[in-house]
Amino acid sequence: MTETLYRKKISEAMELLGKDPRTIFIGQTVGYSGSRFTYGTLNKVPMEKRLELPIMEESQMGISIGLALEGYIPVSIYPRIDFVMLAMNQLVNHLDKMYEMSQGQINPRIIIRATVGSIKPLHPGPQHSKDQTNTLEKALDNVYIKKLTRAEEIVPEYIAALKRKGPSLLIDDGNFH
């Protein structure tokens, strides 16, 4: 399988993020292979910047919030956007509301990367291929959300997320990988 321009741009964005001393990559398949959407796009990110986690989506979001409060910029990776739904308590009730609850004093910088699962060459089933972007847009008030539909927008969006005050959720599409 040849690498698409879309996937190359994701890899380029991850490499750029990896060069920032504040970033740490956290999630499933960031340290070990398992998801074609994640591991292969981190080839140029040093292993010491990657924190592999078991399947514990809500805890992953909580750990990401804690890391951000300590000055890191976590790149919290969910191999499928469906898995973000399992972190909704931390995402909706904590990360999204922290800015308001602290009267603008706390606005953790977290970059959440999620992928809408591809349906080709094999359909993984409805629990691994739904696009939850609209659901998340309705649920979140203070998290910047962007679905990445064109290769050209990937690197600029990740650079903007690195500079943005507050959390970002960038969603890529596995069908373009």
Condensed to tens digits (0 to 9), the pLDDT of residues 102-158 reads 999 999 999 999 999 887 877 777 778 789 999 999 999 999 999 999 999 999 999
**Class for the domain spanning 5-176:** alpha beta
Percent of the chain residues topping a pLDDT of 90? 82
Q: Is the pLDDT of residue 8 over 80?
A: yes
What mean pLDDT is reported for the chain?
93
What pLDDT sits at residue 157? 98
What pLDDT sits at residue 33? 87
pLDDT tier for residue 1 given thresholds of 50, 70 and 90: very low
Q: What is the pLDDT of residues 31-57, one digit of tens each?
A: 998 887 788 899 999 999 999 999 999
Q: Is the pLDDT of residue 23 over 90?
A: yes
What pLDDT sits at residue 2? 58
d(CA 169, CA 113): 6
What pLDDT sits at residue 51? 97
pTM for the structure as a whole: 0.94
At 44, the amino acid letter reads K
